[in-house]
């Protein structure tokens, strides 16, 4: 099966988050944050791996703020609070691997 980003279903009413793959053991989401957009601090009941495709921004894990940029890979374990924001002019594009 092949899916193109433009054809992938949106999974958020407010952000450009598109489900590229969903399976028994993992999901893959393509996330684009425009300037000023953010994801509020939250926890997930699963491990997540972020891979930054383009742009840069801030990722906060619990109380540690990380500057993220293209080609960064950040694994996040279950139970860690996380938030993300784009304060730059260019889009922040991130692949989100959700490990079930």
Q: Answer yes or no: is pLDDT of 60 > 90.
A: yes
Read off the pLDDT of residues 1-26 as tens digits, 9 standing for 90 and up.
899 999 999 999 999 999 999 999 99
Read off the pLDDT of residues 22-33 as tens digits, 9 standing for 90 and up.
999 999 999 999
Read off the pLDDT of residues 34-52 as tens digits, 9 standing for 90 and up.
999 999 999 989 999 999 9
C-beta neighbour count of 25 within 10 angstroms:
7
Beta pairing, strands 64-69 & 56-61:
antiparallel
- Dist. CA 85–CA 38, nearest whole Å: 4
Read off the pLDDT of residues 64-78 as tens digits, 9 standing for 90 and up.
999 999 999 999 999
User: Any alpha helices (H) in the chain, and if so which ranges?
Assistant: none
7-99, CATH topology level: Jelly Rolls (2.60.120)
């Amino acid at each position: 099966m092949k899916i193109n980003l433009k054809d992938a279903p949106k999974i958020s009413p407010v952000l450009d988050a598109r489900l590229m793959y969903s399976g028994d053991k993992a999901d893959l989401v393509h996330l684009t944050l425009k300037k000023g957009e953010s994801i509020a601090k939250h926890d997930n009941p699963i491990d997540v791996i972020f891979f930054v495709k383009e742009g840069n921004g801030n990722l906060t894990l619990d109380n540690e703020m990380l500057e993220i940029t293209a080609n960064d890979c950040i694994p996040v374990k279950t139970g860690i609070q996380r938030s993300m924001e784009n304060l730059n002019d260019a889009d922040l594009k991130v692949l989100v691997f959700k490990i079930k």
